[in-house]
Amino acid sequence: MATSETEFETELFGREMAVRYDRTATGYAMLALRLVIGWALLYPGVNHLMGLQGFREATAGMVAGAAGTAANPFAGYFAMLQPYAGTLAVLNAVGLTLVGAALMLGAFVRLAGLGGAVMMLNYWAASLPLAHSLVVDDHVVYALLLFGLGALGAGRILGVDAVLERTRLADLPGARYLLG
C-alpha cells in the first residue's frame, strides 16, 4: 500500500523543524473543518437576516452591555459603536452569511477566513471578562480555525478557489491573498 505521507520544513520561533503529515487525512480534515465551520456561520447568518428586527435589538443590547461593563477593557470601543448598533446588526448578519457561504463553497477562503476571524475576535472582546476562562473561549478557537483554513488554502480542496486559480482572475494583483 502506497503512503501519502509528505514532509515540509519550516522555521518557528527561530527553530528549523521538519513536519510530516498524511496528505489524504489532512485533505479530508481541512474539507470537513471548512464545511462544518461554514455551516456554523451560514445558518445563524441566514436566521439573523430573516429575523433582523429582533437581531437588531439583541445586537444593541450586546453592544450596550459591553460598553457598560467597567471590567471590559474594550468598553470604550463598544461605547463608540453604540449609536450604530442597528447598522452593526445588519453588517453582522450579512458577514456571517457571506463568510459561511464562502467557506461552504470554498470560494475566497483566505478573505473569508480573515473576515470571520475578525468577527470572532469582536465577539470575544464584547464578552469580556469571560465567565468561565481567563482568556480563551469558543470565539478565540473559531478565530484561529478560520485563520488556519485561510492560511492553508482550504478552498483549493473541492472548492471554487481551485477553479478560480486556473482562470485569469488569479493573475490579478492581490488575488493570491483572496483565493485559497
pLDDT tens per residue across span 17-49: 998 888 889 899 999 999 999 999 999 999 988
Residue 149 pLDDT > 50: yes
For residue range 58-105, list pLDDT tens digits in order.
Answer: 888 888 889 888 889 999 999 999 999 888 989 999 999 999 999 999
pLDDT over threshold 80, residue 133: yes
Indicate whether 1 pLDDT > 60.
no
CB contact at 8 A, 63 and 78:
yes
Cβ atoms of 113 and 149 within 8 Å: the answer is yes
Residues 128, 74 contacting (CB under 8 angstroms): yes
Partners of residue 12 on adjacent β-strands: 15
pTM across the whole model: 0.87
CA R_g for the chain: 19
For residue 129, cis peptide bond before it (omega within 30 degrees of 0): yes
